Amino acid sequence: MKTTETNQPYISKTDIQISYADTDMMGIIYHANYLKWFELGRTQFVEDAGYDYLDMEKAGFSAPVYQVEATYKKPVRYGDQVTVETWVEQNDGLKTVYGYHVVNGEGELCATGSSTHIIVRREDFKPVQFKKIFPEWFQKYETIKKRV
């Protein structure tokens, strides 16, 4: 993972392979697929940061989606090249907000979004504090998150 000395946020980039099955009757990418792309971007971001959701689950925790938002700016069609850019917008110890941009091959912004996640114990789904359960992971996010 790359970070700069000027404390710039880290943005992970994930190329998406679009399939014909991703389209709707209008010939554009079905809107719910963007949520799948956000998840692919987030998973890549976590891996780029040096962590793994499977390790979290093996430790008895999960990070479910608490809230998700998407704004569609330009349609994506079958045959287009797209990249999901992912970063951490907020990391307050209880919840983490990831930001997303979906950009086409011409560099045009096609969608923006965010997803909010909390850490829960798998056994009873009770929320726990990210900064207490995974302090190194939390601190890494603090170092690379987007400053507002």
Q: Are strands 61-62 and 95-104 parallel, antiparallel or unpaired?
A: unpaired
Tokens of 4: 């700069």
Which of the residues are catalytic? Answer: 24
Specify whether the CB–CB gap between 111 and 101 falls below 8 A.
Answer: yes
Task: Please list, residue by residue across 92-118, b when 16 or more beta carbons sit within 10 angstroms of its beta carbon and e when fewer do.
Answer: eeebbbbbbbbbbeeeeebbbbbbbbb
